[in-house]
Amino acid sequence: MGDRSEPTGPALTTDAQWDVLYIDGEWRPADGDETIPVMDPSTRDQVARVPAGTEGDVDAAYEAAAEAATEWAETTPDRRETVLNEFLQAFDDNKEAIIELLEDEAGGSRIMGETSIGIARDHAREASTYPRRVKGEHKESSIPGKENIVRREPAGVVTVITPWNFPLNLTMRAVAPAVATGNTVVIKPATNTPITGGLVFARLFEETSLPDGVVNVVTGRGSEIGDRVAGHPESDVVTFTGSTPVGRQVAATAAENLATPVMELGGNNAHIVTADADLDAAVDGGVFGSFVHQGQVCISINRHVVHEDVYDEYVDRLTQRAEALPVGSAHDPDTVVGPIIDESQRDEMLGYVEETVDAGATLETGGETVDLPGVEDSLVVAPTVLSEVTNDMSAACFEHFGPIAPVIPFSTVEEAIDIANDTAYGLSGSVHAGDEGTGQSIARRLDTGHVHVDDQPINDEAHVPFSGINASGMGGFNSDRILDAITETKWISVQHEPREFPF
């Protein structure tokens, strides 16, 4: 795997001790003896083991978070700001070690690792400004002599259920704001990525002055502890990133306790290219938006919707670029397209490709696994381009979540908008139309939470609201959207002079 850098502080390598939970400021074994293997998607080798947490462990984590909540909520803004800055320092000191963990655990290429670090750091820096930004307001009263004060206070205990595709930054965007605004946290990371999606945060917060119990991490199988995590009575907010079917279940379970659900769910994002588009820019965006991190991104391009006048040229150029991408192990620094997270995801996406070809599409390139030396049953899927696709074919109507680029032709802008909107989802999208005004006009008519003109759909900036509509989620992350979700308003009125009552 090449030379590995040594972390300057906490032990952040796969051979460190990860078979313990982090509850109330302590590393402790799970109630049961069972552990879960952490597998390297590139080599298919086990690289670590983590505890299979039990419902008893979940209860202990929430008890610790609830116990710590009052004191942490009452800390001053500068105290919370200091903790976030200490965390940022620890994060920066261990950046290379974290990138290597992403490589080992998530199959992330160097590009994916550096991207994750950059976005995660952006979220942590933005969160470090929250302690001084959270504020109340005064409201005029219709009653003489009354003053209305609206306070903004922490919601309490925030549950963070994290995904496996970009575990680091998608955990950071919930954990850092929650801590910064005076909440306590329980993290349940995805089973595939329990280290970078959870346990790493415990190790980094240990390098800060954060009090015990504010951040807790319980690893385990969602099938065994997921309902208890999502529906714990001590939880006040439940944040979740993942598939729409699981998200519906998580939101429903959270709602039983009247916890606020914040969900970023699936996507079926369209990359629209009109006849007047700059094809160089459109193809550049199309290649990145489909193939970065093997397409395992909720906001990646799921469908290329291309005008018939430039369709053939676009398909040819996209195919040539796909075939030229470096493919292989995430441990090779030159790799762009690495392994899929596991065989179930790989087999599902290859099944979509086969069904789409059977339905009449043309396989331009890819559609198969790529063998790796010394690896049995490789998880690497070749970058795949499909032409003559229609919106009802499997690779287009399902979120394929892989390095797959179905290209759908259209003849009018109206048709392109109809194709893009003909999905249950509404997460992201992109438009190349030749000029910014036309691009914005099309963007305004797309039913998505965000659209990017003369770009591709994969964008995330901590100070800009991020949310999906329809089956792509509820609530939102980043900026004021996450602040609204993880804080509560309290109305306090003060009657400064005697009030007259009717009796």
32 in helix, strand or coil?
Answer: coil
Scan for tokens 């109809």, then name that residue: 418
Q: Which of 264, 364, 397, 399 is catalytic?
A: 264
Distance (Å, rounded) from C-alpha 59 to C-alpha 63? Answer: 6
Task: Please name which of 240, 123, 27 lies closest in space to residue 479, comparing C-alpha atoms.
Answer: 123
Provide the 10 A C-beta neighbour count for residue 147.
14
Q: In this structure, which amino acid lies at residue 118?
A: G
The answer to whether residues 310 and 344 touch, using CB atoms and an 8 Å cutoff, is: no
Provide the 10 A C-beta neighbour count for residue 70.
12
The answer to whether residues 3 and 21 touch, using CB atoms and an 8 Å cutoff, is: no
CA atoms within 13 A on the CB side of 41: 29
Q: In this structure, which amino acid lies at residue 394?
A: S
Strand boundaries in 55-145, DSSP class E: 137-139
Scan for tokens 């991190």, then name that residue: 293
Scan for tokens 């400004």, then name that residue: 129
Distance (Å, rounded) from C-alpha 156 to C-alpha 183? Answer: 5
Nearest 5°: the CA angle 187, 183, 105 is: 20
The answer to whether residues 488 and 153 touch, using CB atoms and an 8 Å cutoff, is: yes
Strand boundaries in 192-296, DSSP class E: 215-217, 237-241, 260-264, 269-273
Does 264 qualify as catalytic in the annotation?
A: yes
Dihedral over Cα of 231, 248, 168, 165: its sign: positive
Q: Which of 103, 105, 298, 399 is catalytic?
A: 298
340 in helix, strand or coil?
Answer: coil
List the structure tokens of 359.
Answer: 């339905």
- Cα distances from 75 to residues 124, 153, 154, 158, 194, in angstroms, run 19, 12, 11, 17, 30
Does 298 qualify as catalytic in the annotation?
A: yes
| Residues classed as catalytic | 264, 298
